Amino acid sequence: MAYITEFITRLASRRPLSEAVNAKVSSLLLEVSSSDAEIALRRMDSSPDGLLDRESEDRLLIYGPNAIVHEKHRNPVWQLLFYFKNPLNILLLTLSALSFYLGDTEAATIIAIMVALSVTLTFVQEYRSSHAAERLRAMVSTTATVLRKDRRSGVPDEVNRYFNIHLTPHGPQRREVPIDTLVPGDVIQLSAGDMIPADVRLLTAKDLFINQSSLTGEALPVEKFSSLEIVKGKDPLQLGNICFMGTNVVSGTATAVVVLTGSDTYFGALAQMVSGERQLTSFDRGINQFTWLMIRFILVMTPLVFLINGLTKGDWMEAFLFSMAIAVGLTPEMLPMIVTVNLGKGALAMSRKKVIVKRLNSIQNFGAMDVLCTDKTGTLTQDKIILEKHVDIYGHENEDVLEYAYLNSFHQSGLKNLLDVAVLEYAGLNDQLRAGANYRKVDEIPFDFQRRRMSVVVEGKNRHLLICKGAVEEVFSCCTRAEVNGQSVALDPSHLDKLVQVTRELNEDGFRVIAIAYKETPATTITYNVKDESDLVLVGYIAFLDPPKDSAREALAALHRHGVTVKILTGDNEVVTRKVCHDVGLKVGQILLGADLEAMTDEQLATATENVVVFAKLSPAQKARVIKALHLRGHVVGFLGDGINDGPALKAADVGISVDTAVDIAKESADIILLEKSLMVLEEGVIEGRKVFGNIIKYIKMGASSNFGNMFSVLGASAWLPFLPMQAIQVLTNNLLYDFSQTAIPTDHVDEEYIAKPRRWDIANITRFMLMLGPISSIFDYATFAIMYFLFKANTVAGAPLFQTAWFVESLLSQTLIIHIIRTGRIPFVQSRASLPLVLTSIVICTVGIWLPYSYFAHVLGFIPLPLQFWPYLIGILLGYLTLAHLMKSWFVRRYGLN
């Protein structure tokens, strides 16, 4: 038995069959597709009546449940701990532990609270978003109709009826079973509305249409049949007698044998491609780069401060405590919190616009995105087939064509396919046509796959009409005349040239074309057959299209204005895609097909992606490869998709975007889920992402430049002064107050010119800014040192409290006020004003800083009142610092840009 051989092979290899899934899909499916139904059943060790119960049970043990690998969700405790592994959090917790060990419990507590708050905010937001996404998951169907050759012996009929086991008088049992219990060899029945529960080979099929858009991107359903296929060189998705898990039946009925289940299916292969660890996005890499930049400064600075103060002052314990305080001061401990609060604020703003943010980091990636790759169906188009044209044989609009098409679709028996529904919906708006429904149906010649046409015969207006519709070539073959300007004329070679030209032009415009023909028949005839489909009069064509969304053109223009290039990655054909792109104003030059892409090297593809806008007939792996090629060219890439075939691309992108109606694999791979599939929502997300990034960068630039300047100030003062330039408790208090002043940054406004184009991490730019602005702050620190040392004679140990108090106040006020210079590329307070919360926190912290030397806490913190003569000098120092900082910032923006 083949399935026993399979079992032995698995045990010997100790690996799941899914590791070779591509070979499996390409070989086994091709094999059964190229065999007739009887041979295909024997290949699967099955029969037309299905499997025995015990065979099904044995195979379930061998192959496992018919279930797809989903993204593994961490236990909440492990997920919470996972967020602590950030290097900055590890450094802060280490400093907190050292401070606690050395008896500085206040500093230890403050640092630990900052880390805990940041981690908790991140955990709560992403945990809640993940559960919201879980609630969106809903399988189309949970059971399948399967045939069994016998029921369990000894089980009463009442029990069989309870479990919905249907007994047939002389044949197999028909059962509704959970889809995860299906095994290779099971024979299943399919009907309209069913989800295909596995990869199956059709045994019988009647009028079967399958919607494969989630796999291929094609909007129109495809016909499937049970006859054997010539499969040489064919993509499995093009096999006419194979149906794939995750697709669904639009119309018709069928029986099929299960070939592949679970992770061995085509769907399963895609699920495994997206179930591993995610790659770091541009946001993650940027945060890590900045974090390590700061850590390197700390690792250099802290030992230097310790050694210099230990050697010059002789008190090594005091030097150690001071160096630990400096390490805390240099650490951007608010960064995790600022980032998380910014992202959380962005997620809240986006939730009001019907967007669920699954991963907070993706909000910034939205802003950095300069290329958006998207599928065509449902994004640029309405994902709905409509009747677009009804024309005569010369391509001119003709109402008679619509009336004939309406009568045919209205009187057709059985389940209407999507094209019939489109005709009825379109014609239903016409009162005259609705009245035409008063025709009486006489007979019908059903559709079949050999003729590829169907006819109805109706009686009305004192005549019998046979109305035929179907594939253009098949209807042509039955026509001897054509209707031109209301007159029936004989078809001749001159007409045929025009017929071919009109249908070719419609096809090139992306239309699905159906021909309409008719003839009058004797009123005495009441039964008709295929032979009556002859000597027809060709009246014209009806043409269908998945039309563009009304908002698509406007949305694409808005994205373009904001510096986002849109590229189309579709499994559909290039003709339809070119037409849709033209209708929405997307300029299309060369179209790169999947077959051509496959022959390219990664370097060649990366070069091609710069100029190609449309990629058509792509497989899922090819979509992901295009995104990786764009990464090679330095782009930050977003991908919008909702189909099974979009999973790998969603995961490969910097920001994966899906919709709530998407298949499970797409929602699991996505970073963001839209509750409506609209490019306008994406444009709003891009703006929100840039605002978030802009506010994060404000804190980073300020923290980096301030810390770099402090490094020079502390090193110089430590080597020069006979005492510590600031006590450890003062450093920590300064740091705490300064950090509090920055908590309002997430509420700040972002200038319009900043959000006008994509923004991404540029560590080189941040480093340049730090190297330029940091020494400027040191200049004014040294000016303060000189004033206190020479004018106020604070140059001995006795004068240390005065010196330390003065530098504390100057340092706190300058760091608090500089954010108003750094936050904008414009003139601060005049052309750009900070948000009210940021202004208020700045005022509060400056007031506290001025008040502390005169307060009850002054003695505890080692402060003394500052002389009144000091304040004019301080005002001059602050004005000079802010003015010079603004001038240097303006030059920097002109030279290097806003980023």
Please write the tens of the pLDDT for every residue from 200-232: 999 998 878 888 876 776 666 788 888 877 655
Q: How far apart are CA 409 and CA 391, in angstroms?
A: 17
Question: What's the whole-number mean pLDDT along residues 703-708?
Answer: 83
**DSSP of 489-540:** EE--HHHHHHHHHHHHHHHHTT-EEEEEEEEEE-TT-----GGGS-SEEEEE
Which residue's entry shows tokens 């996005």?
Answer: 281
Quote the pLDDT of residue 500.
Answer: 82
**DSSP of 634-679:** T--EEEE--SGGGHHHHHHSSEEEEETTS-HHHHHH-SEEESS--H
Q: How far apart are CA 584 and CA 563, in angstroms?
A: 18
| pLDDT above 70: residue 127 | no
Give the phi and the psi of residue 218 in degrees, each rounded to 5. Answer: -75, 130
Based on the residue annotation, tell me whether 375 is a catalytic residue of this protein.
yes
Please write the tens of the pLDDT for every residue from 173-210: 888 888 889 999 999 999 877 889 999 999 998 878 88
Query: Which of 270, 261, 118 minimizes the C-alpha distance to 199?
Result: 261
Q: What is the DSSP letter of 787?
A: I
Say if residues 597 and 605 touch (Cβ distance below 8 Å): yes
Please write the tens of the pLDDT for every residue from 276-292: 555 666 677 777 788 88
Residue 435, C-beta contacts closer than 8 angstroms, at least 6 positions apart: none
Q: What predicted TM-score, i.e. pTM, was given to this entire model?
A: 0.69
Say if residues 136 and 124 touch (Cβ distance below 8 Å): no
pLDDT band with cut points at 50, 70 and 90 for residue 8: very low
Q: How far apart are CA 265 and CA 74, in angstroms?
A: 26
| pLDDT above 50: residue 169 | no
110: how many CB neighbours lie within 10 A of its CB?
Answer: 19
Largest CA distance in the chain: 125
Q: How far apart are CA 780 and CA 795, in angstroms?
A: 18
First vs last Cα of the chain: how many Å apart?
66
- The continuous run of DSSP H or E covering 199 comes out as strand 199-211
Q: How far apart are CA 108 and CA 93, in angstroms?
A: 8
pLDDT band with cut points at 50, 70 and 90 for residue 318: confident
Which residue's entry shows tokens 């605002």?
Answer: 691
Residue 485, C-beta contacts closer than 8 angstroms, at least 6 positions apart: none
Please write the tens of the pLDDT for every residue from 573-619: 788 888 888 888 888 888 999 889 988 999 999 999 999 999 988 87
Say if residues 110 and 736 touch (Cβ distance below 8 Å): yes
Which residue's entry shows tokens 């430590």?
Answer: 718
Say if residues 307 and 316 touch (Cβ distance below 8 Å): no
Burial (Cβ within 10 Å: 0-12, 13-18, ≥19) of residue 461:
exposed
Structure-token pair, residue 242: 């194979």
Please write the tens of the pLDDT for every residue from 37-79: 888 898 899 999 899 888 999 999 998 888 876 555 566 777 6
Q: How far apart are CA 272 and CA 262, in angstroms?
A: 11
Whole-angstrom CA distances from 442 to 526, 535, 768 are 6, 19, 84
Q: Which residue of the set 186, 207, 264, 375 is catalytic?
A: 375
Amino acid at 149: K
Q: 256 has which bridge partners?
A: 188, 202
